[in-house]
Structure 1
C-alpha cells in the first residue's frame, strides 16, 4: 500500500498565529532592509508569547536541513501585532519599526516554512506529515513550493512581496488563509515603517518607467493618469494595466504599467480613465529574473468610462532586433535601453503596454500551465516540424514570445495547440515579465488555433544484423501512475520506436514514487514490471530489465521518488551478461582479458562514490552480447539545469551554475569510456541518456573524441528532442565509439511537440552493426 504524506495540520488556532511572513528584506529591488515575521492573535484576550519561538525551515529541506529558532517574550494583544525582525540584507532603504523580538534568520524570499512553536528547542521534522504529528507547533505557514505546509501552501512571495492573512482566520489551509501582497510590518506599538503615508508626486507613466530596467522613482509614491487596457481578475496577483494615451517621444520609455491589487479584484474595466496613486516597486518573480515595474498599495479614482483604448503595437517579423541583449558580463539593469538593437530591451521599453501579433506559428505545445510560445520570426532557425531550433548560446531565437490568457477559463478554455500550429487572427494584450519564459503577452484578445496536422513519427524496424539501441526519459514513471501513462509509453516503444533491442530508461522511480518521501522504499521492480507488461499488451516483446536500486534519497529528482536509470532488453535478440556484485555503492571496473574489455560487474554503477554524482543519478554500465559481439551500453541522467540563470534574465550572459557539476560528471564518464577503449580500442560503446545539456555545451565537448555525438550528424533543423521556453533543443544524447558499422540514428518526435504527451522528452534510437564491417560481410 502506498504511504501518502499528510499535510501539516492541527486544530485551527484560537490564540496566537502567524499573520505575515517576508523573506526578501535587503534583497535586490527590496525597499525594506530586513526579513520579518509578524504575529497576531485570533482570540479575544492577550496571548502570551513567553517561552514560544518563531522557527524557519527552507522550502525544500534536505536530510541535513535544520530548523532555526528565535525566542519570543511578551504578548500580543487582540487587534494588535507583534513584530519579529530577522536577518538584514545588503540592500533596501527603509528600516523596520522597532521590533518586539529580534532574530538573525535569513529567510528565502520565494519559498520556505515558518512555525510558531511552544518552546525554543529547534524542531526536527522535515516533512509535512512529521510536522503535523509534532504537538509543539502552534501555527505553521509554508509558502511558495514549501514541502512543509498546512493543507496547501500559501502563494510564493518575492523580494518585494510578503504572504499575509487576509483576515485573522485560521482554517489550517495556508493557501486559503494567506495572500501575496506588499509587506506591511507593524509592531506592538502600532508603528509602521517611515511613519505616515507620504504625499504623492504627480507623474506620467513614462516618468515612472524611465529609460533603464529600473524605475527612477522606485520607493516613491506617485499619482499617474491613464486608460485601463486590461484587468487580471483571478489568482493572487490581481490588478489592472494603465496606459498613457499621450506618449512622449522617447522610444525607451514605456507608456504602460501594472497596478497591483493583491488578491482583491479591481473594480475597473478597459476604457476607464483612471488616476492611480501608489508606491513604485520593482517586483522580481525569481532570483536572476528581470523585474516588473508596478504600483503597489494603490488607490484610484475613475474619472470617466467608455474611452477609446490605445491601439496595440503590432509586433511583426521585422519588429524585434536579432540580438538578445547587451553582454557586459553582469547585471544589465542600469544600462540605458536600446530597443532598436536588443530584443529584451524592446520588450522592456514596452512593458505594460498593449501589443499584438497576427497569424503566428506556435513553436511549443500548449503547456500544462496554460502557456503557448509563438514566433514572430518564422524564418529564424525553423525546425523541420514547425518549431524554433536552439543552435548555440550566440544564436538566440529572439522572435519567440509567450502567450498567456487574461480571459477566465470558464468563459474560454485556453487553446490546445501542437508545435507548428497557427494561432490565427489577432492576439493582443499587455506585456508582462515572468520568470518562466520571460516577456509575455497577457492576452485579453486571443486568436484561434489552426491545426496544421503535426503527426507523431515512426522509425523503421532494425534489420536482422542491426542492433537497435534506444534511450527514453519516461518522466518520473512509478508503479502508482495511471495505467494510461504506462500504455502511452509502451505504444511509443512498440509502434514509434519499432521495439528496439535495448532501451536505456531515465526517470524510473521507486514503487510508490514521490508519494513515499521518508518510507525507505527504493525498489522499482513493480514499476518496471508494469512497464514490461504494458509493452507486451501493446504488441511488443517481453523485455527483461536490469537496474540497481539507489540509496534512499541520494539521487535527486522528486523527493521520495528515488529516481534512477535502467535497461530494457529483448532476450530473443540480445543477451545480457550478468556479473554479480553490483549495488548502489560498488563501482564497476574495466577488466582486460584476452585482449578484450569486459566489466567487473554487470550491471554496475560508474564511480558512484565520486562527489560529481552528489544528489544526482549515477551512470549504469551494462555488458550485452549480440551475434557473438560484445556491446557496452552506459545509461545516464546528468544533473539538471535547475538553478541556472534564465537566458532572459538580468545577468548577461547568464551564469550557468549547474554546468559545473555536469562538467565533472562528463569527466568521470569520459574516464570510464577511455578505460574501455584502452582495454580494447575496437570496443563497441554506446553512451546514452538525458545528459541535460546542449550539443554545443562544454559538457558534451568533454565526451567528444573517443565518442561521436550522433545529434551532430543530423541537419540543424532536426537537432532537437525537447522543447523549453519555445526553443526546440537537445538534452538527450546518444554517443557511439568508432567500431560499429552502418550507424543509423534517429530522434523520434512523439512527445515534446504535442499538447498530449506521455513524456516531455522524445526518445532516440541508433541502429548499427557491432564490431566493424569485416564481421558482417556475410550477412
Structure 2
C-alpha cells in the first residue's frame, strides 16, 4: 500500500476526541522490560543523517508510546525513555503496524522488535515481529522547536519526537485542507513568491515552513479539521490566520515534515472575511475578475462545471462576487470562447439577481482560437461605450486582448480599458522558454507585454487614458511587468501595502498575477485600488465542485467529505478580483 499517494484507507477518529486521548499519561513510572533482550538505542536506529544507518537490520528498541495513530497512520510513535546526549540524533521512531493493530496506549512502555526501514524518507520499524508491554511511565518533555529552521533537514533530528513549536505561526497554505486534512504554516507571516516584491527566496521560505496534519493519511476526511465552524455559510480557515498551542510529534511524509498534534491547536482569525472590498474612492469603479472557466458547455475537458448542478453552484458564486464588487466596468478572464453564449448567460444571471437590466456586455463574438477569452461588461446607467470594441490580433498573444473606450455619463470623462490574459506558467516545454526563475514561457510573456504596449499606443490615439487590466500570469517584479512599467505605465497594485499585495496562492506562496496598470495621464485620476481577498485565502474545498463531497450526485466511494458549499463570493474562483477607483477629468 502506498501510504503517501493513497493516503490510507483507515477510519478517521474525531480529531478532538483523539487528541484528548493522546494527552492521557500515567502519573507514575512503573515498568519492567525483559532483561535478556539486546536493545538498540533508538538514536542509533535514527543516526545523524537523513537515512538510518541500520536499514534492513532487525533490531529491538524500547521506549514510551507518545502518540498512537494506528487508526489514521497505521502506527504509533515510540520515544526512548533514556535519550542520548547527541542533539543530532532523534530519540524517537515510528512503528508501522499496518492492519495488524497493536494494543498500546500513550504512556505505555513497550519493547518492539522489527526491521529498520526508510519509507519515502521516514525512518520506521516495519515489519514488526514482536511488541512486549513493560508497564507505564511519564511522557518526556516536549523538545522546543523554533522557526526559521537552520537548514531544510533540521527537523530530521527530532523526527518522531514530541516537540513544542515556540515560534508564532501563520496559516499560509489551505489547498489540501479538504483533501488531506492538512494546513501549511509559516513563521514571520504568510509566504510570498520571491519575485512578487516582498523579498525573500524559495530557500528562506522553506526554512519558515511546517505542515500541520490531522493524525491521519485518509483522503477526503469525513470531518475536515481546523475549520472555524461547521456552518457552510461561514465555515473557513483562511490563510493569514494565526495559530498557537502547537505541540505534537514530527512526522515525515509526502516530502514534508508534518506536525501530528497531541494538543488541540488554537487558531485566531486574524485575517477575517469581509463582506465587500475596501473603498477605492472615485466616481467610477473598474474591476478585473478571473471567473475560473465560466463554461456553458458542461464537461469541457476538465474546464468549468461538469454538470448542471455544478454550473448552478458556480454561477451563484460568480454572481455574488461580481455584484459585491459594485463596479461600473468589469473585465473578465476565462469566459468560454463560444461567441456570446457564455457571456450572455452570465449577464442574464447578474440582471436576474439585480431584478433589473443592470449590466450589458461589450459584443465581440468569438475572440481568437483558445477555449477561453476575455470579456467586458458594464453598467449602461453609469457609462456609455465610445465606438466599438478593439481586438489586438498580434499572433504572439495566447488570447487576444480586448479593449473598449467608455464615457462617464455623469462627469463626461473618457477612458479605455483593456482586458488581458497572458500565457500561463504551466505546460512547460523541455527546452527553449523553460523556467529560469519566473515560471515557464516568461520570454513569450515579455513579447506579449511588448505587443500590448503597441496596442495601447494605438488606443491612445482615441484617448490617452488607458487602463490595462487582467491576469498577466507574471508576479509584480517579473520581466513582463517591468517591461510595461518601463514604457510609462504605473503598476497600480504597488499602491497597495506590501503585506496585502497578492491575488493568488500556489504551493503556499502568495503573489499578484492580477494587475491594473495605468497610462501616465490616467494615473492622476486613479483614487484607489484594492485586491479583494475572497479566493486566494480560502480553502479549495469550499468551491462549487461536488466531487469527493457528500452530495447526492456524488456517488463514488470517495465522496466522503462534507459539502460546505454556500452561494457566497468566497472561493468563487482561484484568483482575487482587483478593483480600481477613478475620478475622470471631463473630456474636452
Q: Do they fold alike, i.e. is TM over 0.5? A: yes
Q: Is the 8 A contact 1:373 1:402 kept in 2?
A: yes
> In the alignment, which of 398, 415, 418 is matched to residue 633 of structure 1?
418
Per the alignment, in what secondary structure is the counterpart of residue 349 of structure 2?
Answer: helix
1:671/1:421 Cα in 2 relative to 1: closer, same or farther (>3 Å)? closer
Name 1:623's counterpart in structure 2: 403
Name 1:765's counterpart in structure 2: 579
Whether 1:705 aligns to 2:486 is yes
Residues 140-167 of structure 1, C-alpha deviations (whole Å, 9 max, x = no match): xxxx6xxxxxxxxxx379xxxxx9xx9x
Name 1:320's counterpart in structure 2: 147
Per the alignment, in what secondary structure is the counterpart of residue 454 of structure 2?
Answer: helix
Q: Is the 8 A contact 1:472 1:764 kept in 2?
A: yes
Q: Distance in 1 between matches of 2:452 and 2:575?
A: 25
Q: Is the 8 A contact 2:292 2:333 kept in 1?
A: no
Where do 1:654-665 residues align within 5 Å?
Answer: 659-665=438-444
Per the alignment, in what secondary structure is the counterpart of residue 499 of structure 1?
Answer: coil
Q: Is the 8 A contact 2:161 2:249 kept in 1?
A: yes
Q: Distance in 2 between matches of 1:673 and 1:412?
A: 45
Residues 88-130 of structure 1, C-alpha deviations (whole Å, 9 max, x = no match): xxxxxxxxxxxxxxxxxxxxx99xxxxxxxxxxxxxxxxxxxx
Name 1:55's counterpart in structure 2: none
Whether 1:431 aligns to 2:239 is no
Where do 1:226-241 residues align within 5 Å?
Answer: 226-234=63-71, 238-241=74-77
Q: Is the 8 A contact 1:470 1:765 kept in 2?
A: yes
Q: Is the 8 A contact 2:67 2:76 kept in 1?
A: yes
What runs of 5+ residues in structure 1 fail to find an aligned partner?
Answer: 1-19, 23-108, 111-143, 145-154, 158-162, 167-199, 285-290, 325-340, 383-387, 511-521, 556-561, 580-598, 645-654
Name 1:311's counterpart in structure 2: 141
TM superposition shift of 1:668: 2.4
Per the alignment, in what secondary structure is the counterpart of residue 216 of structure 1?
Answer: coil
1:631/1:313 Cα in 2 relative to 1: closer, same or farther (>3 Å)? same
Cα RMSD (Å): 4.3
User: Number of residue pairs matched?
Assistant: 484
Q: Distance in 1 between matches of 2:172 and 2:290?
A: 19
TM superposition shift of 1:261: 3.9
1:624/1:524 Cα in 2 relative to 1: closer, same or farther (>3 Å)? closer
> In the alignment, which of 231, 238, 245 is matched to residue 418 of structure 1?
238
1:263/1:486 Cα in 2 relative to 1: closer, same or farther (>3 Å)? farther
> In the alignment, which of 472, 492, 496 is matched to residue 321 of structure 2?
492
Q: Is the 8 A contact 2:111 2:131 kept in 1?
A: yes
1:678/1:472 Cα in 2 relative to 1: closer, same or farther (>3 Å)? closer
1:282/1:493 Cα in 2 relative to 1: closer, same or farther (>3 Å)? same
Q: Distance in 2 between matches of 1:305 and 1:547?
A: 78
Q: Distance in 1 between matches of 2:253 and 2:168?
A: 21
Name 1:533's counterpart in structure 2: 348
Residues 274-304 of structure 1, C-alpha deviations (whole Å, 9 max, x = no match): 33344444444xxxxxx33333333341332
Name 1:246's counterpart in structure 2: 82
> In the alignment, which of 263, 280, 290 is matched to residue 445 of structure 1?
263
1:753/1:411 Cα in 2 relative to 1: closer, same or farther (>3 Å)? closer
Q: Is the 8 A contact 2:171 2:243 kept in 1?
A: no
Whether 1:729 aligns to 2:559 is no
Name 1:751's counterpart in structure 2: 535
Report the more deviating stretch, 741-750 or 445-454: 445-454
1:679/1:450 Cα in 2 relative to 1: closer, same or farther (>3 Å)? closer
Q: Is the 8 A contact 1:389 1:717 kept in 2?
A: no
Q: Is the 8 A contact 1:734 1:764 kept in 2?
A: yes
1:412/1:473 Cα in 2 relative to 1: closer, same or farther (>3 Å)? closer
Q: Is the 8 A contact 1:623 1:630 kept in 2?
A: no
> In the alignment, which of 183, 189, 200 is matched to residue 372 of structure 1?
183
1:575/1:297 Cα in 2 relative to 1: closer, same or farther (>3 Å)? farther
Q: Distance in 2 between matches of 1:239 and 1:643?
A: 39
Name 2:30's counterpart in structure 1: none
Report the more deviating stretch, 414-423 or 299-308: 414-423
Name 1:505's counterpart in structure 2: 333
1:737/1:704 Cα in 2 relative to 1: closer, same or farther (>3 Å)? same
Q: Distance in 1 between matches of 2:125 and 2:387?
A: 66
Q: Is the 8 A contact 2:280 2:529 kept in 1?
A: no
1:399/1:660 Cα in 2 relative to 1: closer, same or farther (>3 Å)? closer
Q: Could you state the TM-score of these two structures normalised by the residue count of structure 1?
A: 0.53
> In the alignment, which of 271, 275, 288 is matched to residue 471 of structure 1?
288
Where do 1:256-655 residues align within 5 Å?
Answer: 256-262=92-98, 265-284=101-120, 291-315=121-145, 319-321=146-148, 341-342=150-151, 344-357=152-165, 360=168, 362-364=170-172, 367-369=177-179, 370-377=181-188, 391-393=199-201, 396=205, 398-406=207-215, 413-416=225-228, 417-423=237-243, 426-435=245-254, 438-451=256-269, 454-456=272-274, 457-460=276-279, 463-464=282-283, 466=284, 468-479=285-296, 480=308, 481-495=310-324, 497-506=325-334, 508=335, 523=338, 527-539=342-354, 541-544=358-361, 562=371, 564-572=373-381, 573-575=383-385, 578=388, 599=390, 602=391, 606-607=394-395, 618-627=398-407, 629=414, 631-636=416-421, 638-640=423-425
1:752/1:547 Cα in 2 relative to 1: closer, same or farther (>3 Å)? farther
TM superposition shift of 1:229: 1.9
TM superposition shift of 1:717: 1.8
TM superposition shift of 1:666: 1.4
TM superposition shift of 1:718: 1.8
Per the alignment, in what secondary structure is the counterpart of residue 493 of structure 1?
Answer: helix
TM superposition shift of 1:748: 1.7
TM superposition shift of 1:226: 2.7
1:504/1:232 Cα in 2 relative to 1: closer, same or farther (>3 Å)? same
Q: Could you state the TM-score of these two structures normalised by the residue count of structure 2?
A: 0.68
Residues 681-702 of structure 1, C-alpha deviations (whole Å, 9 max, x = no match): 7754444333444323445445
> In the alignment, which of 42, 45, 50 is matched to residue 205 of structure 1?
42
TM superposition shift of 1:672: 0.6
Name 1:517's counterpart in structure 2: none
Per the alignment, in what secondary structure is the counterpart of residue 396 of structure 1?
Answer: helix
TM superposition shift of 1:568: 3.1
Residues 216-249 of structure 1, C-alpha deviations (whole Å, 9 max, x = no match): 33444444333222233345x5222222232222
Q: Distance in 2 between matches of 1:687 and 1:439?
A: 42
Q: Distance in 2 between matches of 1:397 and 1:736?
A: 35
